[in-house]
Amino acid sequence: MTRRFDAGELPYGVFSSPGGESTPRVGVAVADQILDLTTLSADPVFAAETLNPFMARGVDFWRATRDQIRDAVERGVGKYLPASSTTMRLPVDVADFVDFNSSLQHATNAGLIFRPGADPVRPNWRLMPVGYHGRSGTVVVSGTPITRPCGQISDDVSVVFGPTRQLDVEAEVGFVIGQGSRPGERVSTSDFAAHVFGVVLVLDWSARDMQSLESVPLGPFLGKSFGTTISEWVLPLDALEAARVVAPEQSPPPPEHLRVDGPAGYELRLEFELNGSVLSRPRFDAMYWTPSQQLAHLTSNGARLRVGDLFASGTVSDDAEFGSLLELSWNGSRPISLDDGSVRTFLQDDDEVVLSAAAVARDGSRRWLGEARGSVAPARQ
């Protein structure tokens, strides 16, 4: 899925350019160029090295800035640089990172793989959006190589320490917090847009053999904490308003604090590639738990939000298309054939994964979300 951003999208990023203008600053993508926002405004938030100071200004400032940028693009005001001449930086100083598991199909598939003969989806999964707390310090920008992690794995005879043999990656969608909350305060599903600044694409790298050994009784830890890739551009949440859809029916009905009114899902079409071969095209609108429910659950115990917090959807899988190699290869039992004639079960060194996506509006038009790209570097022994 290859596209360029147009004037209906206007995502934010942080870039630097060659020569004397190498200081990172905030820009907006327009086609194959970047509009340098420091040439539109002297406000110091646009000269910052992350989007955090800008996001901290709140939703009214976000929308006023977006209107100003639209006007500038229409009139050709401001300085534009070729995107090819710039270096993109991690757009957000990530405060906390939480990853959910919100696809019923993915939860079912994982249960069938790891607990054959049992109910694949445990009862608590339908009561709340389950998730885990990740490591914000290992969130990297698209294009950054991911080093194959080492850890404790089982070889069916003993537990050994070494490079993961089952390196996986999951196709996900992430949401960036632009407005925090007070300790003890619960954020309702209806307050979602007041706190969420924008959307990124997420590659959640996973060492499945490390994860399976450590996940009883506490859940993911080192098998997930070594790297998470996000796209270089953050698409404002307002740009997805026309792509909102009614989420799948939930049974049993969620508790009062997780109930939503009206369309709470998003019609997004993802494309998941490995070495240039399309593996799948899963649909985000099929996700069982919505982003607003994830945020409400995250804060339901009074946990505080901070500017720059990131939470991810979990693997995006639907009933026909899967968003992880774990599912696509059925835990390595069904090798995947690539266009170059090679086969994969899990990732090999030097493999490159690309996740891209578009939002489908009610009128059929599409909004580009960009891409998240990552390659596998050999383990450091």
Distance (Å, whole) CA 166 – CA 209: 6
Show Cβ contacts of residue 145 under 8 Å, excluding neighbours closer than 6 positions. 374, 375, 376, 377
Enter the tokens of residue 349: 């060194």
Among 120, 88, 117, 93, smallest CA distance to 104 is for 120
The vertex-89 CA angle with 290 and 53, nearest 5°, equals: 70
b/e per residue 262-294 (b: at least 16 CB within 10 A): ebbbbbbbbbbbbbeeebbbbbbbbbbbbbbbb
DSSP state of 5: B
* 18 alpha-carbon distance from chain centroid: 29
Identity (one letter) of the amino acid at 148? R
First to last CA, the chain: 36
Catalytic residue of the set 106, 195, 257, 297: 106
Q: Mark whether 133 is an active-site residue.
A: no
The DSSP code sequence of 273-308 is EETTEEEE--BGGG-SS-HHHHHHHHTTT-PPP-TT
- For residue 328, give the H/E element and its range: helix 325-328
Helix (H, G, I), strand (E, B) or coil at 337: strand
* Catalytic machinery residues: 106
